[in-house]
Amino acid sequence: MKEKNSAYKEHLRFNSCDFSVVFQEKVRSVLGGPAALFKDTGKLQLTDNQKRKLDDSMKVPVEEIEEKIRSQGADLISIDDEDYPEELRNIYGAPMLLYMKGDRSLLGKEMFAIVGSRKITAYGKAIASDFASKIAGSGFPVVSGLAAGADSSAHKGAMKTGSTVAVLATGIDLCYPAFNELLKKEIEAKGLVLTEFFPGTSAEPFRFPVRNRIISGLSRAVLVVEARRKSGSLITAKYAIDQGREVYAVPGDINRSASEGTNFLIKNAMAHMVTDLSDIEGVSSVKPPEQEITPEEETVGKLIDEGIDNFDDLLERTGMDFGRLSELLFSLEIKNKIVKISNNSYRGV
């Protein structure tokens, strides 16, 4: 963890204002950063709302907030820091401050993004997990958004062989969706969780597209697994194209709405079609290592193989409490022994 940087004071104050990406880019390109803005707010033509936000920010106890962030095991990185990712620094609207928890050194590695539908099919889950496992095993941390569906599958797949980076649409102290709290903690322990949003910022629809520019901005390329025609995944693909990144897409059933977006990208030459890892330049196949199964995990896995695959039924048969069973099921997913096929049901791999 880095020592306090005095520049974080201005960055934190500016970040608390929750300005638009367009205004953030203007402050960066015209003034060089928040410090110059606070020294002389007359250098830019500000709206009444922007003036109000800046005035309100002077009341924010930024030093106390920084202390609290660090006391919770989180860290900060500003665009002025040497280890700020160069790929991200060069995009339009690069976030001037990031909050993070986990392995900061991953920011110095070349990354690969995998995105897709929240309402993903069983086929899509398997594809996202498999590609993520192979890409992470090839040395590229896999970036995604910690959402349900493809994102979760990608994070779990990546942790079987390597590292993963989750980019949040909330503050670093929150988790959306809430049921991914265990996954978030696992990534904090084995990878990196980061966000540009001020602590306490809750998930709102407009924040997800804003967040997506960071997913693509951190990455050398983006793979879209399954996506509807109008979806956040296609927004991420569009950001990737604008940022000069390679875009890949897995083709799908032409009769499924879940494949409309990926098929659209391929049909319009906006993405390279991928059916095998060899279609992705610079990535080599790595077989996931076998992971040891504990006696408790083995008991749960056998019950699922026998057809007792519903969470409530497993609770009854094992006599475990809710939290312990949740942990074991999550661990079995990470170890690629089971797959969640609905909110409450599982099947063996």
- The pLDDT value given to residue 180: 95
Q: Which fold has domain 109-279?
A: Rossmann fold (3.40.50)
**20: closest CA among 84, 96, 100?**
96
- The pLDDT value given to residue 2: 47
Q: Coil, strand or helix: which one is 158?
A: helix
Backbone angles phi, psi at 126, to 5 degrees: -65, -40
Domains 109-279 and 295-348 share a fold: no
Cα 302–Cα 304–Cα 306 angle in degrees, nearest 5: 70
Domain coordinates in residue numbering, the chain: 7-104, 109-279, 295-348
Q: Tell me which architecture the domain covering 295-348 has in CATH.
A: Orthogonal Bundle (1.10)
| Inter-residue contact 212 to 235 (CB < 8 Å) | yes
What is d(CA 128, CA 116) in angstroms, rounded to the nearest whole number?
Answer: 8
pLDDT along the chain (349 residues), means of 10: 62 96 95 92 90 95 94 95 95 97 97 94 89 93 96 95 97 96 96 97 95 98 93 95 96 88 95 91 65 87 88 88 85 79 76
DSSP H or E run through 325: helix 322-334
Please count the helices (runs of H) and the strands (runs of E) in the chain.
15, 11
| Token pair in block for residue 166 | 């989750």
- The pLDDT value given to residue 168: 98
Q: How many CB atoms sit inside 10 A of residue 345's CB?
A: 15
- The pLDDT value given to residue 337: 82
